[in-house]
Amino acid sequence: MSPDRVSRLVACLENKLDAPGILVGDAVSDGYAADATARGVRPPAVLRPRNTADVSAILSAANGFHQPVVVQGGRTGLSGASRPLSGEVSLSLERMSGVESIDIAAQAMIVGAGTPLQVVQQAADDAGLLFGVDIGSRGTATVGGNIGTNAGGIRVLRYGMYRAQVMGLEAVLADGTILSSLKGLPKDNSGYDLNPLFIGTEGTIGVVTRACLKLHPKPRIERNAFVALPSLKAAQELLAKLRVELSGLLSAFEAIFPNVYEGTVAHMGIRPPVETGASMYAMVEIQGQSPEQDNERFETALAAALEEGLAIDVVLSNSLREFNGLWAIRDGINDYLFGLGEMAGYDISVPLSRMQEFLDRAAHGVAEIDPDAVSFIFGHLGDGNLHYCVKTAHEKRIAEAVFSGIAAVGGGVSAEHGIGTDKVRYLRYARSEAEIATMRRLKEAFDPNSILNRGRVFEASAIAL
């Protein structure tokens, strides 16, 4: 920690930023110290740029002083990327919020990085369009944070991860270099595409300031169904079948394991939409443009699933109330699990073809370490993304068991939430030494003094500490 360095940085920025652009001492509220999962260190200063030029001035100065910076958006992250470490000043994009323009014909929108996701969704909706990513923290999570963590959510199956929504970015490198690429051209091979440098790299390569985002037609019909299935295998076969039969319609396929389903409906105090006692459950959703035809395709595909024995029971929503009611069960899972007390949670990605093998390995590993452990599994089966939660008193050893299972089947240790600071030690279960060394090489090329989100994704270089 170097309070002198921070004071000098602040002094240097005082004539470049406006008064609300710098918070120091008691003006730094507690919120800046925490992300969605834990409290970190309260930063000695928070820098709040108005625009890209301000961001450039801040980074250029911080780089000159070798002053570490933590980049903050809505601070809703679940892995610690935006949770301040000792010695860091905060760069908060909160004032760079707002939708700048929407091109309805081109289905594209330009927004500031500090704009909350929900504002993006609403602006798209107001223009008769849809933004393809939705996550629970929509009211607070921002565009910049969503890009930095390559946010996922429920409709990745249909619209892809946040990466697929990015048509262009404006970003600032650690040395203050401004890169602006907001043309929104769907097809452009005029030199390297530099946008990927900033997507999913958790603010370690540069700071996103503005984005051109892709929009989609707003669905005229949304409908869902709750399905009871005889097995995980049947759920996988049904998924494969629906990806073909409902191509262009299927928008979610959420798997819910029996104890999670039964616990959630009991916790909610509602009548289960399909009978309990099955080996697997799923919530399936379509979004389409031709209500009559889409309904027919949905009903036909689900009827065929029943006939072929892939499904035991199906309940289709027949009203907006029923539609919301089925989603409420999926959304109610977190509430139920939180109520069970402290729980270890893993956001993992598993190849579909090896999912059963992974589950067997993990179950075996967990049981060996803690015979009393109880697992609760649900998630976005359509993307191979499971939320694997374990009620146990042996969190660290259980993590090793789960991630060893992941390593054995070639999965990912963080499907959606990123690595941040909290999962750095687990990265090696998913990526080779050569890959991690290459990440570091990329980081060092663009942030040689390691001022940006130092210690996130992989351990900081010795030289930077």
Three-class secondary structure of residue 247 per DSSP: coil
Q: At 422, which amino acid appears?
A: D
What track of x and - describes contact with a second copy for positions 268 through 307 (by CB under 8 A)?
Answer: --------------------xxx--x--xx----------
Residue 172 parent element (H or E) = strand 166-173
| Burial of 4: CB neighbours in 10 Å, binned 0-12, 13-18, 19+ | exposed
Interface segment toward a second copy; rule CB under 8 A; list 10-18, 26-34, 134-142, 150-158: 150-158
What track of x and - describes contact with a second copy for positions 317 through 356 (by CB under 8 A)?
Answer: --------------------------------xxxxx---
11 binds a second copy (CB under 8 A): no
Strand 374-380 and strand 250-256: the pairing is: antiparallel
Determine the Cα–Cα distance for residues 225 and 391; give it in Å rounded to an integer: 29
Furthest-apart CA atoms within the chain: distance in Å? 73
Binding residue (CB under 8 A) for a second copy from 132, 411, 449, 453: 411
Report how far apart, in Å, the C-alpha atoms of 62 and of each of 119, 270, 420 are.
Answer: 31, 55, 21
Binding residue (CB under 8 A) for a second copy from 1, 266, 437, 465: 437
103 binds a second copy (CB under 8 A): yes
Q: Can you tell me which residue has the tokens 């200063």?
A: 45
Residue 100 parent element (H or E) = strand 99-103
183 binds a second copy (CB under 8 A): yes
Residue whose CB is less far from a second copy, 129 or 315: 129
Using CB under 8 A as the binding criterion, the count of chain residues that bind a second copy stands at: 91
Interface segment toward a second copy; rule CB under 8 A; list 30-38, 221-229, 335-343, 379-387: 379-387
Interaction residues for a second copy, span 191-250 (CB under 8 A): 191-194, 196-197, 199-201, 216-217, 236-237, 239-240, 243-249
Residue 391 parent element (H or E) = strand 385-391
Residue whose CB is less far from a second copy, 9 or 154: 154
414 binds a second copy (CB under 8 A): yes
Interface segment toward a second copy; rule CB under 8 A; list 4-12, 132-140, 317-325, 414-422: 414-422
* 1 contacts 87 by C-beta, under 8 angstroms: yes
* 297 contacts 223 by C-beta, under 8 angstroms: no
Residue whose CB is less far from a second copy, 139 or 248: 248
Least distance (Å) between residue 119 CB and a second copy: 23
Q: At 24, which amino acid appears?
A: V
